[in-house]
Each structure stands twice: as structure tokens, then as C-alpha cells.
Amino acid sequence: MSWGPAVITGRGVLSPLGNGWPSFAEAVREGRTAPVASFPSTLPDDPVAYHPIAEGAGIDSHGRDPLAAMATAAIAQGLAEAGIETGQGPLDDVGLVMNTGFGPSQALEMHLEQLWSKGPLAARPALFVGTLLSMPAGKAAISLGLRGSSGVTNASDPFQLALDWIRAGRERTVVAGGADCLSAKTLRHHRRLASESGSERASLAQGAAFVVLEDAASAGGRGAATYGELLGCGAASLPQRVNVPWPTGDASDAFARSMAEALRDAGLAPEAIAGVCLAAGDDAACADERYALEGVFGAEAPVTLSPKTLFGEALGASGALGLLAALAWAECGRFEAGKAVLVNTFELGGSISTLVVRPTEAQA
Amino acid sequence: VSNAVITGLGIVSPIGNGKQAFLGGLRAGRSGLGPLRRLDPERFRIGIGGEVDDETPGPERGAVLALRACREALDDAGIDPPAAPGMALALGSGAGEMIAMEEALGPPEAELPRDYASPLQPPSAVTSKVALELGLRGRLVTFVNACAAGAQAIACASDLVRAGRAEVALAGGVEILSTMVLSGFEALRAVSRDVVRPFDAGRTGIQLSELAAFVVLEDARRASGRGAEPYATIDGSGTSADAYHVTRPEAAGAGAALALRRALGDAGLEADAIDYVNAHGTATPQNDPAEMAAIVDVFGERTRALPVSSTKGMLGHALGASGAAEVVACALAMKHGFLPPTINFAQPIEGYEGFDFVPNEAREGVRLRHVASNAFAFGGHNVVLMLSAPEGGA
């Protein structure tokens, strides 16, 4: 393995703050918060709140299969910005790693409701196929002709896999990120669990966010613009039975181990870190993460910012949205130029990960 | 870069629970498929599948089966999880605790169950339950690449070990039978009404099954240092996407061939070095010819003499767990010197007359130095693993 850096050459995003990098970045820089809406449901007198993706994406985000369209649109944006042309035949050397929490949950909900009411003989093949968690990534690969290394993760870090593929020389280019679209029943279950936990949690959000990661030499060779370097990854866990996107126990040790591994992987000392994008979207989880920061950084803690306070909890897209938020904040000088930033993520079930990204200085 | 060696195996399957029973089933060419017992066969068009002999009820079944396999693999390796605190866990599953999801998302909104501690359980819920029970605090990764998920979990875990991100990793897959999965594949007309006949001219499709299969992967130096005897080394892996169709493979097998070539390259092996291909071999009209086209594309004329077999006539198709079970089968085959058979074989698939599909009976007394294991999935996700015998092995 070469263990060289991977650079970011493209960014694609559909989010409650805006669709496309310019809209998203502007909203993050200005500190805007995402609008709240009620998810369409069969119980209009008992609405469930969430953050929808911004209007104008041309996607029915409450339709039968919005997740594939959301992921495909965000991936296509990233590839276009990276100057990688699609639609001209298969791209054997462009890989894809997509993370998701509940996958195509609207299709799954429709399918399971039909089985519940009409029985197994009523199963419809097209609807069934659309419920598979891997299908949005498969459809995106088909639509864009991506034939390189392929991975679909569930509530896990997609960036470590992508980074190691590039470091090992298996791929020159990997699109990595995540997406979730939510459904009425998913939201109801989470509202109840949040209520039972006795505290206000970040509202769930729709989102699809991807970056194009590229071997630095390859990107340099073709003269691609770069927006940052992914220097390293770390991970740890606080396994829990309750499958919610917040810790149900003391997560400080796991956050500390994740950040420490990421720094080792990047070959950086804590002094090289200008800021941390927190995984936490609420005070209780935030306390654990801040305690972990004290352990890693001592009294001289870097700047901390919480992306989820802007756009909510986007489940499988959260890590990628956090990474993009870090790049946006770097552009407006929220972090010391030339230094790196940590991006923490807490996934459903207790998987914790940390990315080390150094925003490109010219953009900072 | 270090080597990742397999030092422990664990499996619960329709042909037996535990590696010894599984090994016996493979060598005997025994089928574990038949009329469903735990799900009512009368509710389905066909109602045949492969079930694990375990009475754990629905919502926890995936985690229980996975834990049984994980514990056996750890015992087999002689590793106590507290002694390896950074142990990673990579798990593959297409549907996870789908019975729990059916109960959580099936009823109308107004009738949603109110008494579930954890109502929504995608595959990552199985990963976290296994990690919680075993006391793991390292990296958790869940793959959901449909039928290639378990193989990708093992590929990922071997990479974590090779890259030094983990000294020890548990990796594998689990799948349980559910109404959602059975009815979906029946609706696709993909299920055989009698038996599963991989690579046979009369093949009529898959039969679904459930199983859990896990391996312990370990840094070779660590394993050697504690005197462990590896089954095999995971020397490399290759993945690709077909970018072709959501359920059909491309007839020429271009995506699968790409994954095979990448796996060979990652392992530093020439195609001539491969002694056996454990095929994905689903017995659908579409998969088997596309897979053979890919194999011929990579191995050329030598394919005629290259043993290629599929265990799915015995095990059924356990979707996200199938690739992991096939790695366990390969590791046992390498250690004990035999080739698992392709059962229910009568007439070779059109265009591949004279090829060696290891028909109907296990072939004993063979030396396997390098083996390829294929796993392909809906959505066009392909994973190939390369296993090598440990130095001085069988």
C-alpha cells in the first residue's frame, strides 16, 4: 500500500440546506438552519416532523423510490465537478462506496404494508427489488456507468474503505458518501424513542452527500482542482441494542479511541488539528464527545462545531454531510488555514468514526 | 503489509450446525433443502427452503444465529474477545432482522407496535447485538451488498488486518428466512419448484436458505506467535459493479471478470495458479452462463480442466450469508484436501460440455494451493476472494 493521501476533487449534495455544493456551502457559511416539515402520512392529525431535502432537486422525495434518485443526483454532481465524464460508456476505474441507515425505507414500508394486509402471494417483484438496501447504489452505478470497486455499508463509515482502496492502489478514484430518505413509520418509531429517552434529539433529515476521492498523483496528473485531502480515518464502537443515532451509554471512551486512531493513521499530532466537527446533535451526547476531546487534546481544545444543529440527523448521510460542512466552514475561515479538521460520526447501533481532512489552503 | 490468515471457523447451516457437521455435509453432498417448517409453506407459492435447526423466534433470530457462529469461530481460533480488545467485526447481510422489520413496518401507522425496545432493525442491528454480547469495542462494519455482503465483509476484514488497522477481526454473514424475502423471490419467478441444479442444462432457479458463517482473521505474525494453525490465507480480493441491470447479470460477465482479475492482481497470482473456483452458481438461467463466461474470459482454455463447483444445491442461496459460507467451505476443503460437489447435476450447461463441475460427489485427495471464491449480487455488485493454503499446508 502506498499510504499516500487521497484528495477530494468533487462534491455532490442534496440536503435540507440546499442542493448542490454552492447552495449547501453558502447555507453552512451563513449558519442557516434547515426548515422543518411534516412527513406525508395516513395520520394527518398526528404529524411527524423532519427536515426534507430542499426544493428544486426534481425528485419526489416522498415517492416510491427517491433514494436511488437522490444518491444518483449527488454522485453525478460530484463527478461533474471532478471533471469525470459519465454517459460515454463504462468507467472501470471509478469505484463507489455508499452508506445508508434505512436504505429505500419508503419502498420497504410500502412493500411490508402490502404483505401485512394482503399476504405473501401479493408481493410485487419490482417493488420487492426496490426494497433492497444495496439497490440505490446499484441503480446509481448503472445510471452513471460506474464499474469500479463497489461497496454498500449500513450504518458504517464508507470513507475508510474508499481511502484504503486508493492507498492500496486498487482504485484511482472512488466516490464515497451516504444517503437516507426516511419514511413515515421510520419517523414515528424514532419520535417515540426520542420521547422515551427524555430529551430533545436532533430531528431526522433526508440527505445524500458524496465526495469524489482520488489518488493525489492521479488528480495532479490530470490537473484536477482539489478541495481537500483525506488524511486518515479512525473507528471504535459503543455497541447498543436500541438502534438509534445517539449513544445510550457513555460514549466518551469510544470517541477518544476513534479520534486517536484517526490521528495515528494521518500521522498527525493533536497540535495539527484546527477544529472538530462533532457527531453530536444534542447536549447529552455532546458532553461525552467533549469529554473525549479533553482526553485527546488536553486543555487546548480546538474549535468545535456541530453540523447537525444546522441540518438535523441525516443517518447514513451524516458523515458525508459533516465532511462537506467542514470544507464549507474552512472556506470562511472558521478553522486555522493549513491545519486539519476532525469529523466525527455516530451511526445507528453504536459505530463511531473519525475522518481527518485538510481543506485545500487556497480555498480556505 | 501483513498477511491475514483464517484461524477460526464457525457456521450454522441447513446441512449442519458447527464446522464438523458442515464438513460432513459437504463431503457427503447432502442437501439441506426441503419444505419449510418455521414459516407456513402453505402461504407461499413453493414453500421450500433451507432452515437452520434452531428454534429461536423471529425478531432475534439473526443475532442468535450469528452469535452461535461467531462463538464457534472464536473458540476454534482459541481467542477470548477480552484478550483482543481492538477486534474488528465485519458483518454482511442482505436483510438483517427482517422479521422484526416486518412487525415494525407492516401494520398501518395507527397500529404500530408500541412495546418494542428496538423496533427498527436493519442489518447493522445484528452487528451491534453481536458486538454487545461479545464485548467488542473495535471497528464495526456492516455490508449490505445483497448476495455479496458476506464475502465483502471478509474482504474488508482481511484488508483491515493487512493494513494494520486491526490485529484480529471477526468476519462473515448471516441471513434468516422471512416472509418478505421468500415472497419477493417467488414473485420474481426465481425459485425452483423441486431441486437446485447449478450449472446444469435443466436448472430452474434458486431455493432460499438461512445460515450464519464467520471466520476469525488474524495477522499472520500474531497467529504464528501464539502457535495457531491457520486454515488458509486471504491473499486478495477484488470487487466491481456490473453497471448493467438491477437483477440480471450481463451475459458476457464483464463485471464478474473484472472482479476476478482484480482479485488475482491483489493476491499477486497468475490465473494459472488457481486450483479451484468455488462459484456463485445460483442455478438461475441468467447467473450460471454469465459466470461461466467470466471464468472462461479470465482462465481461458485452461477452464476445461479447472474444477468449478457450487454448493448452493446443498446449502440453498443464503443471500448475504452465502459468500461467507462458501469461504468456510473453501477453507475446510483446503485443509482436508477435497472439492465440494455440485449436486443434482445431470447435463452440463449449454456450451460448457466437458467442463469439470465436480458433479454430485465430493472429490477427495486433492491438493488445493490457491482457490477463488465468487459472490455476485443484485444491483450488479461482485466480490471475489482469493484463498491460499498456509505455507506447508495441504
- Beta carbons of B144 and A189 less than 8 Å apart: no
> What would the mean pLDDT of B42-52 be, rounded to a whole number?
97
Q: Does residue A157 sit at the B interface (CB-CB below 8 Å)?
A: yes
- Asked if the Cβ–Cβ distance from A137 to B379 is below 8 Å, we say yes
For chain B, what is the mean pLDDT? Answer: 96
| Shortest distance, CA B261 to any CA of chain A (angstroms) | 11
Q: Output A194 or B77, whichever has higher pLDDT.
A: B77
Chain A contact set for B262 (CB, 8 A): 149, 170
Q: Identify the helix (H) or strand (E) that includes residue B220.
A: helix B220-225
Task: Work out the end-to-end distance of chain B between its first and last CA atoms, rounded to an integer number of angstroms.
Answer: 25
State which residue of chain B sits closest to A244, comparing Cα positions: B118
A132-177 pLDDT, tens digit per residue, is 999 999 999 999 999 999 999 999 999 999 999 999 999 999 999 9
- B330 has catalytic annotation: no
Q: Residue A147 is nearest to which of B45, B106, B241, comparing CB atoms?
A: B241
* Apex A194 CA angle, A190 and A199, nearest 5: 160
Q: How far is Cα of residue A302 from the mean position of the Cα atoms in its chain?
A: 23
**pLDDT value for B50:** 98
- CB nearest to A237's CB, from B122, B138, B246: B138
Question: Has B245 been annotated as catalytic?
Answer: no
The answer to whether B317 is a known catalytic residue is: yes
CB contact under 8 A, A161 and B156: yes
Cα of B223 to nearest chain A Cα, Å: 22
Q: What is the pLDDT of residue B345?
A: 98
How far off is chain B from A220, nearest CA to CA, in Å? 25
The answer, for A150 touching chain B at a CB cutoff of 8 Å, is yes
What distance lies between CA B57 and its chain's CA centroid? 23
A183 C-beta neighbours (distance < 10 Å), count:
23
Residue A243 sits at φ, ψ, to 5 deg, of -90, 75
Across the range B106-118, mean pLDDT stands at 85
Residue B342 bridge partners (DSSP): B359
Per-residue pLDDT band for B1 (boundaries 50, 70, 90) equals low
- Residue pair B69/B172 in contact (Cβ under 8 Å)? The answer is yes
Q: Which of B60, B128, B162, B235 to mutate to test the interface with A (most CBs of A within 10 A)?
A: B128
**pTM, 2 dp:** 0.97
Q: Do B247 and A132 touch (CB under 8 A)?
A: no
Q: Given a cut of 70, is residue A2 above it in pLDDT?
A: no
Asked whether residue B135 carries a pLDDT value surpassing 80, the answer given is: yes
Identify which of A120, A152, A349 has the shortest CB distance to residue B182: A120
Q: Which of residues 15-34 of A touch B (CB under 8 A)?
A: none
Q: What is the per-residue burial (b if ≥16 Cβ within 10 Å, else e) of B166-197?
A: bbbbbbbbbbbbbbbbbbbbbbbebbbeebbb
> Per-residue pLDDT averaged across B55-64, rounded?
93
Per-residue pLDDT of A288-342, as tens digits, reads 999 999 999 998 889 999 999 999 999 999 999 999 999 999 999 999 999 999 9
**Binning pLDDT at 50, 70 and 90, where does residue A202 land?**
confident
What residues in B contact A190, CB-CB < 8 Å? Answer: 120
Asked whether residue B263 carries a pLDDT value surpassing 80, the answer given is: yes
Percent over 90 (pLDDT), chain A: 85
pLDDT reported for residue B370: 98
pLDDT at residue A363, rounded to an integer: 45
Residue A147: what are its φ and ψ, rounded to 5°?
-115, 5
Residues of A in contact with B254 (CB under 8 A): 90, 147
Hey, are the CB atoms on B243 and A146 less than 8 Å from each other? yes
> What is the average pLDDT across B160-174?
96
What's the mean pLDDT in A221-241?
95
B294 confidence band (pLDDT: 50, 70, 90): very high
Beta-carbon separation of B144 and A154 below 8 A:
yes
Question: Å from A244 to nearest chain B CA?
Answer: 8
Spatial contact of B117 and A242, defined as CB atoms under 8 Å apart: yes
Does residue A259 sit at the B interface (CB-CB below 8 Å)? Answer: no
- Note whether A174 and A79 are within 8 A (CB): no
The pLDDT score that the predictor gives to residue A245 is 86
Cα(B219)–Cα(B88) distance, integer angstroms: 12
Is it the case that residue B258 has pLDDT exceeding 50? Answer: yes
Suggest the residue from A97, A128, A153 to mutate for an interface test with chain B (most B CBs closer than 10 A): A153
Q: Which of A128, A243, A233, A142 is nearest to A192 (CA)?
A: A243
- Chain A hits for B159, Cβ within 8 Å: 164, 168
Mutate to test the interface with A, among B109, B178, B185, B208 (most CBs of A within 10 A): B109
Confidence of residue B57 (pLDDT cuts 50, 70, 90): confident
What pLDDT is recorded for position B338?
A: 98
Within an 8 Å CB–CB cutoff, is residue A11 touching chain B? Answer: no
Q: What is the pLDDT of residue A295?
A: 95
- Do the chains contact at B127 and A349, CB–CB below 8 Å? yes
Within 88-107 of A, beta carbons closer than 8 Å to B belong to: 90, 92, 95-96, 100-103
| A interface test, pick of B239, B247, B385, B386 with most A CB neighbours within 10 Å | B239
Q: What is the ipTM of this complex?
A: 0.97
Residue B243: closest CA among A283, A215, A108, A95: A95
Q: Can you tell me which residue has the cell 476533487?
A: A9
Q: Fill in the amino acid letter for A91.
A: L
Query: Would you say the C-alpha torsion B259, B261, B265, B268 has a positive or negative sign?
Result: positive
Of B70, B147, B156, B330, the catalytic one is B147
Which of these, B313, B359, B368, lies nearest to B335 by C-alpha position? B368
Q: Is the pLDDT of residue B117 over 80?
A: no
* Interface A-B: count of C-beta contacts within 8 A: 271
Terminal Cα distance for chain A, rounded: 30
**Inter-CA distances, A46 with A40, A188, A203, B105, B119, Å:** 10, 10, 16, 17, 20
**pLDDT at residue A327 in the model:** 98
